[in-house]
Structure 1
Amino acid sequence: MIGITGTKQRNQTMSTIEQTLKLTRSEAEDLLFRQAEYLDSRDFNAWLDLFTDDGSYWIPHRPTDTDPETQMSFMFDDVPMMMARCERLLDPRTMGQLPPTRSSHVVSNVQVLGTNGDGELIVRSRFHVTQFRRDTLKFYAGAYTHHLVGSPDAVRIQRQRVDLIDCDGIHDTILQVYL
């Protein structure tokens, strides 16, 4: 089993000096494409390293939702929960992942929207994710919104929001794997 618990230590040296983060669309695409590849190759250690220590991953129930702590969500994970979920996904004794889910992410229409009042760079994109497990293909599509910040060694994801186009549809399974 791959140890995930130690992967976040280098993020603890986040810069205390507020700087405006600037990325070209190409640089933002590279980050999002790398994130997709980490998920598709099940390299969860590298995927977790893309997030700040206090980062979050949210799939809201409705596109108008604004608060993951008071509104329903398909998924709302902070970094400790993301680490626990990834450890479970990699554990060979996890029956819900035998055989493991395989995925293919396609990310497109990347737009660098600028910074918000917190100094986070907002990047919006579209996605299509196909997942395969036990002879069943599942398809997900929607929009990502990434809130990015600079750290001394890289650009990190502070918050990731995943808006599904079928959020108000019937979902017959619980999401176990990140989109």
Structure 2
Amino acid sequence: MLRFLNIKSIVPDNARNRQFFMSWGINVNFSVKRPTLHHWHHPSSDWVVLNCDGSIREGLGGYDCINRNPRGNPLFVLASTTPSSILWTKIYAIHWGLLEAVCMGIPNLIVRFDPLSAVKAINGEQQAQWATWNLLQDICELSHHVHEIRFQFYFRESNHYADWLADIVYNSNEISFCMDNLPPHAYSFL
């Protein structure tokens, strides 16, 4: 017989947890996660922001980049798949987004992404994982073609459109958007 006695931990309040503990007759303290506000921060007028993200599903990596001007309007959007680890996929997104920004001649670029370990590796504050070393070297080389560049950690919740694109790319091999032909409602979405 399985018994739970004197459970003192706080359990996240959701339907699955309530059903589990109620079905076993276990009294626990449920907690509701306090919502936090995350939003996209506009850069100063002479900067452009590149938001990058990646995800893994069933062994396939999806990555994407959204490059926006200071008003928040997209300049380009890239999304595709790649078979690799989550960290490699996220750094790969940065590589392709930075390459596109260099090709467009963007002079001042802020690159926002997670995880923090990747930000620290790119900024030279932490040893890079060997699997990402070549990509990080390419990013370093590409950075020399931008007048000024900043790599910043950005909470996943603040990067939700990039996260969403990285997740939907599994339904196709590549997604490309032409900024000149986007429907008007797409600008507010991206």
The structure whose Rg is larger is: 2
**Structure holding more strand per residue:** 1
**Structure holding more helix per residue:** 2
TM category, shorter: under 0.3
Q: Provide TM-score, normalisation by structure 2.
A: 0.23
